[in-house]
Structure 1
Amino acid sequence: MPQSSSNTTPTITITRHLLIRGRVQGVSYRWSMVQAAQQRGVQGWVRNRRDGSVEALATGPVEAVQSLIDWAHQGPAHARVDGVEVCNVSEPAEPRAGFVQRDTV
């Protein structure tokens, strides 16, 4: 008996680690990234680092994660992003549910 499938193309999910440098603390960068990630359906987390940078882990469909990376290069209105390092992550170390702010490390 033939199987019918309305979606024959699987969604490819990727995970990327981001390190954002510049004037990215004290300008609502983390809160804005949570909003941007939720709008795109990306899961993961974002946190400040004691060195003044912001770190994030983003998991989701390729296009959604890339859109969030593109957003990260600009950030919110008062941010000044000097650079975004993006690294591939083979698999997230823990299951993701939503996109959240984490404590500073």
Structure 2
Amino acid sequence: MEMLSQLTSDDYKVILFGIIVILVYFLLLRYKRHLWENRRKARCDYYRNVYLKSDEWKRKRYVVLKRDNWKCVYCGNRATQVHHTRYAKYNIGKEPIDWLESVCKSCHDDLH
């Protein structure tokens, strides 16, 4: 208690400034996270709703299924889907054919 009574008004200003700095820092972190989430959601929406319905994807999908002889690379059953082994995060649609593999629905569900 005695220590608190020895604090000057300048000490209180320094403490208050420190608290404000910490609060602003956490607000900026939260805002940055919010922006990142919005960009990620926009990429996912574009990928699902535009790219996977495009003629470009349909051609690439056909090439991969034909390359793998329409067989699942995991179980050997008839492949009906194409799985990305990696994603081109900022280059949607520019993934190389090597990053794609033919899979059946059950194996694809297991992979996800």
What is the TM-score when the length of structure 2 is the normalising length? Answer: 0.30
**Would you tell me which structure has more strand in proportion to its own residues?**
1
**Would you tell me which structure has more helix in proportion to its own residues?**
2
Choose between structure 1 and 2 for higher RCO, CA contacts under 8 A separated by at least 6 residues.
Answer: 1
> Which structure's CA Rg is the greater one?
2
What is the TM-score when the length of structure 1 is the normalising length? Answer: 0.32
